[in-house]
Amino acid sequence: MKPSGLKAAVVVLAGFLAASALAATRAYFVEPKTATSAWSAYQGWVGQSFVGNVDSIYYLEWFVGDLSASGFYVFDVLDQATSQTVAHGRTAVPGQGWQWLRCDNFTYGSLQFTKGKDYVLKVSHSGGDAAV
């Protein structure tokens, strides 16, 4: 192979590798939607609707204000259309309020988390109140 042919092959190979790396690292694109405001239901929980822009959940965070009692915060991620559980977890109520809580200890339901679908994050307190 001539030196100029070798250069062309290297350029093509480098271009191919760069394109492959870009495709492998691109995050999912989901058409933006306006999220519904959080609401408080009479059943003792608060929730927030959202559109999934990934295909799995590693952790969830939510903000907790004033603490009302010790115990656990329980969360469920529900498919908004069917109300079936996609994920369920809990985390201990912290010693002090007004902070973000992270939950990375949860189990998946029978449904798969799917990008582009509408979900509801439902958070409750093991004591029955929804002071989140």
Predicted structure pTM score: 0.64
Which residues of the chain are under the pLDDT cut of 50? 1, 131-132
Q: Nearest-CA neighbor of 131 among 25, 40, 32?
A: 40
Instruction: Kindly list the domain boundaries of the chain, sorted by start residue.
Output: 39-125
- Position 131 scores a pLDDT of 44
**pLDDT tens digits, residue range 85-108?**
999 998 888 888 888 888 888 888
Residue type, 43: Q
- Position 124 scores a pLDDT of 85
- Position 79 scores a pLDDT of 92
Enter the CATH code of domain 39-125: 2.60.40
